[in-house]
Structure 1
């Protein structure tokens, strides 16, 4: 009977091994990896097409710029061989800024991929659609450049090895292994063995075997299209090691005269326990938008402290995208001060003994004495919400330079806050405000160019509305409900508004850059000999190159900013929960 059981066990084990999906990148990720970002399934075709459409302006500009660069070849003194290489590389890159272009060289829109750590060293592993096509493309690059990309071999596997210096102690490594493209960094066997990085030796237990990402997806409701896990404890252990089990990093510290003691290792690991893991994924992603969730896991006492800190602010935390842009926070300053004092007292009661952490002992003493201001302000202020509804400054040809919006300040005592403000701003002395009363116009003494503004308050907040029509909106801002789970931080913006803001920012930066270039390259050279004339010609060429680079940077910036025109709105909130801090974000595509 025992023999029969052994035979059955062997058969089951053989069947299990034969069914292992070695085409999955997760089959090569160690189960104990300190970090990973991977998709279990390829994104649906409709979703891929929707986001490719968003990137279309960038791809079109990329193609136009390559055409322009090609036309300029030969005008700045390149040799015929240099011209041939430049034109060859441009032609190779010309049609690659699209999914179809990438598929022509072997990649696949249906690919699974993983970015992960073997110890601390990063590895990128991507499924290929056709490995032969990618090898052929690498050959085309070598033919155009006129020399082979350096290669090496390990365990019978040839790979490309690109070292930034002659020492060769550090190199970027790329290999095509079966139907996978693998990219990693080789810093020597002391850090990580190259066969392990390349997956030539499979881990004893892989992340696919462990099912870790599948479990996270079930637990948090994530889709299979992208899950992230950062385990700070594993990362710290990979760096610091354990007593009697040093790592390359701890050995390096010892060689540099700063050996890592057991005390230092224990205290550093104790810090990491306050923030053990970060988890994230998409709860929804399709052609209409995406929803994502992240959890910053915290030590239970720390998580509870953040829950105690959060304060509701009227209207803060909506995910409806009604406002062009808004941001704010809700924070009980006395609870923040209490948390700081608890941490400072803990350090004072048991100071760090590690010499490298000694400065934290003094910092804890100092910060513990600086919380009085937080306690004092807690009686006046518990958060704010800033809303910007209109900013004509963003318009290309504005008829008026106006601004419309509001500032909502949450307070345990709005009337007391107004009384305190009157002592600092005498112009407010004429105001007679009462909870629920009609908003009053703010005096414009000394602020003749300021837009009209009104102020009002209720029992939990005061609001200042700015711009024409703000008087009627102040009560609505004050009466807006806070969500059931108020956020610690919140932001939202409409894509068109944000795109306009970034375009205006780019205009300012470009203007400053052009002015700086003028100062660098301009100037009266006076009388010149032949050598001076040669220098002037070189300076002129330098200026032309600088202006060309600046022009391309500006155009790329404009193309990226135009992507926001396809976004309806984006919103995000940081919310304290029992396990730590949740970050919730939504993005909707303009239909």
Structure 2
């Protein structure tokens, strides 16, 4: 996250495809996972973010120092050694903490034009960073080692130096090749051939840039080179279900896993399970000085994806940003869900799992049938979802533990039987019965002994789409527009919008008033500073979950503060 924020403006044209990044020559076409910031963010966005990110990084800098000091004080060492250890650690921490700043990162060779990728060589994780100044990184790292009084071990392969540290099980490797930095964790004692591939000294026979995979993702989902990635669950499953080669063979041998122990039936059925959700994709779709938009997609088998699209139901206003402090809602057609669930159980009955390792999953079919046999009241099937909106909260003081003086909020229950719900409620509430509420969408003032401060005014309204309640000043006007609002297209399963600026400011205030019992005052203060930094950075946040023919899509938008 911080790397992608700090790695900023480039002079390369904005239309550069992701696959044109030179870094991708080190990533195999069959890599099981990848996330890359392959093009730095636009210059105007970098200029806007840099001072705010710097403030945020300073909070992390303070937090790192405070946590390290807490660790020393709680360590099981003699009192006379604590002060010496603290002084020694302070020297190291000052050097490392300085990296938690824009200038510190630049001095370490990670500047505005830096890019990075996290990917797999087989299953082995690799982080590759394009440095703006490789020599500057080397100097900074050497200074940290000198201040620490110890250095990482070094070795060579093909006349290339690399640093390493580890034990008998795993080894962390850090290698610099000119202006590229490579970090990885691999099994100790891995073969030289595999090490060459991990470090990029031996490039893949076919790279992901050659495969066309990223171009296809960009075309279909609108991802940009500012951030694009995937996890290929099918390929990961195949690693365990077929005869492994290369580094995967070494990794699985160390893990004492042998696919030969799996029967052909089990392999086929596990492969079929992987086909249900073959890939998870993610990436930025928009990146400018006003907003950052992204999408995350869990691709699903076509019949599953199509089935899920039937589960949502129109909820007025769901999916739109209503402003205010916070809004959240979801939709579900219970009859459609029942049919979808029953169809899945029928499919498992028609073609049951035979692999013993999946016996519990198959046994769940009978339990699922029992769930379907449980009766639901008819009114439940008329419910289609809800939407709650908190427009504003006035007064109140977290520090003084003073509750809000008033709350403006709305709640809508989507249903095609609003009149029936009101009739049921009228049995228990004479005040509700006296309203004579009509399905015309017109708000009616609702007075009840149950209403107490900070809720002093309430209105009810209903129409053919639902029943809604509003409290607070102007609630009657907001209620009419809420019931008349259109549902999103596609109809969301879930949607959330919030005022991020006020939210993070509230979290900062709350963390100071109700700190973690185990945290020191310094850690509490650093946490507060980080939350305030987030408050300065963001204006609004939104997340929507849609069921589409491609699978489960989760678009998100961050609006940046002015």
TM-score, length-normalised on structure 1? 0.81
1:471–1:121: structure 2 CA closer, same or farther, 3 Å change rule? same
Larger radius of gyration: 1
Q: CA 1:241/1:314 → structure 2, altered by over 3 Å: closer, same or farther?
A: same
Q: Which moved more, 1:493-502 or 1:82-91?
A: 82-91
Alignment of 1:286-305 (within 5 A): 286-305=288-307
1:525-536 matches, within 5 Å, as: none
Comparing 268-277 with 61-70, greater Cα deviation is found at 61-70
Asked if structure 1 preserves the Cα contact closer than 8 Å seen for 2:63 and 2:526, the reply is no
Does residue 501 of structure 2 align to residue 496 of structure 1? yes
Structure 1 Cα separation of the partners of residues 528 and 438 of structure 2: 48
Matched pairs, number? 532
Whether contact under 8 Å (2:145, 2:151) holds in the other structure is yes
Query: Hey, what's the Cα distance between the residues in 1 that align with 2:356 and 2:428?
Result: 46
**Relative to structure 1, is the Cα distance of residues 241 and 318 closer, same or farther in structure 2, using a 3 angstrom cutoff?**
same
Instruction: Give CA deviations for 1:28-49 in whole Å, capped at 9, x if unaligned.
Output: 1111111111133222232223
| SS of aligned partner of 1:582 | strand
- 1:31/1:205 contact within 8 Å kept: yes
1:469 maps to what in 2? 474
CA contact 2:326–2:390 (8 Å) conserved in 1: yes
Change in Cα spacing, 1:71 to 1:224, as seen in structure 2 (3 Å) is closer
Question: Who is 1:366 aligned against?
Answer: 367
**Structure 1 counterpart of 2:161:** 158
1:125 lines up with 2:124 in the alignment: no
1:143 CA drift (Å): 1.3
- Structure 1 position 585 matched with structure 2 position 542: no
What does residue range 195-234 of structure 1 map to in structure 2 within 5 Å?
A: 195-234=196-235
Question: For 2:151, what is the secondary structure of its paired residue?
Answer: coil
The answer to which of 72-81 and 553-562 deviates more is 72-81
Deviations 1:278-313 (A, max 9, x none): 222212112222111232211111111111111111
2:4 aligned partner: none
What is the CA RMSD across the aligned residues, in angstroms?
Answer: 3.4
* Alpha-carbon distance change, 125 to 227 in structure 1, aligned in 2, over 3 angstroms: same
Is the 2:440–2:463 contact (alpha carbons within 8 Å) kept by the matching residues of 1?
yes
Asked if 1:576 is matched to 2:547, the reply is: yes
Distance (Å, rounded) in 1 between the aligned partners of 2:431 and 2:345: 41
CA distance in 2, matches of 1:460, 1:382: 9
Give 1:116's aligned residue. 119
1:303 and 1:61, CA in 2 relative to 1: closer, same or farther beyond 3 A? Answer: closer
Q: Provide the C-alpha distance between the structure 2 equivalents of 1:51 and 1:475, rounded to a whole number of angstroms.
A: 39
Q: Structure 2, unaligned stretches of length 5 or more?
A: 1-18
CA distance in 2, matches of 1:495, 1:573: 16
Give matches, 1:308-319, under 5 Å.
Answer: 308-319=310-321
TM-score by length of 2: 0.85
C-alpha contact 2:242 2:259 (8 A) present in aligned 1: no
Contact persistence 2:405–2:454 (CA under 8 A): no
**Preserved contact between residue 456 and residue 474 of structure 1 (Cα < 8 Å):** yes
Once the two structures are superposed, residues 196-245 of structure 1 have per-residue CA deviations (whole angstroms, 9 ceiling, x without a partner) of 21112111111122243233223333322111122211121123335999
Which of 135, 147, 152 is 1:144 aligned to?
Answer: 147
Equivalent in the alignment of 2:177: 177
Deviation at 1:450, TM superposition (A): 6.3
CA distance in 1, matches of 2:36, 2:523: 32
Cα distance in 1 between the residues matched to 2:344 and 2:195: 43
Query: 1:368, 1:256 → 2: CA distance?
Result: 36
The equivalent of 1:266 in structure 2 is 268
Shift of 1:270: 0.7
Name the counterpart of 2:487. Answer: 482
Deviations 1:352-403 (A, max 9, x none): 1111211112212212331355684553200110101122476457685322
Q: Which residue of 2 aligns with 1:31?
A: 29
In structure 2, which of residues 80, 87, 91 is the aligned counterpart of residue 88 of structure 1? 91
1:408 and 2:412 are equivalent in the alignment: yes
Q: In 2 relative to 1, CA 243–230 (structure 1 residues): closer, same or farther, beyond 3 Å?
A: closer
CA distance in 2: counterparts of 1:36 and 1:448, whole angstroms: 54
Q: Write the distance in 2 (CA, Å) between the matches of 1:79 and 1:497.
A: 41
Contact 1:243 1:262 in 2 (8 A): no
- Structure 2 CA distance for aligned equivalents of residues 411 and 25 of structure 1: 53
SS in 2 for 1:185: strand
- Over 3 Å counting, the alpha-carbon distance change for 1:360 and 1:130 in structure 2 is same
Sort the Cα spacing of 1:374 and 1:115 in 2 relative to 1 into closer, same or farther, 3 A: farther
